[in-house]
Structure 1
């Protein structure tokens, strides 16, 4: 009689893989230096 893995363990493994994958993707995104960076400047009020 084979015992099927609990649904909880499957969800835990999927969640862990998601966390690892997200962390890896964010580290790749942060290390990318050739990505265009948008800098939005606020219009400065005219001062005398």
Structure 2
């Protein structure tokens, strides 16, 4: 008869997967900071609806 895995081991495995996934995601996120960022300011558009 096979023994079911304890709830503690299931939680440990899920926690480990969460730590690995978070580390991987942060690694991807921090790698994108090296890319050049172009800042473009838009000119305010004037509305012609209320002009006479």
Larger Rg: 2
TM-score, normalization by structure 2 = 0.61
Structure 1 alignment gaps of length 5 or more: 37-48
Name stretches of at least 5 consecutive residues in structure 2 with no aligned partner. Answer: 39-52
User: Which string of whole-angstrom CA distances, capped at 9 and with x for unpartnered residues, describes residues 2-46 of structure 1?
Assistant: 10000000000000000000000001000012567xxxxxxxxxx
Alignment CA distance shift 1:31-1:22 (3 Å): same
**TM-score scaled by length of structure 1:** 0.66
Number of residue equivalences: 36
Distance in 2 (alpha carbons) for counterparts of 1:12 and 1:35: 40
Take 1:35 and 1:14, find their aligned partners in 2: how far apart are those partners?
36
- Deviating beyond 3 angstroms after TM superposition, the runs of 4 or more aligned structure 1 residues are none
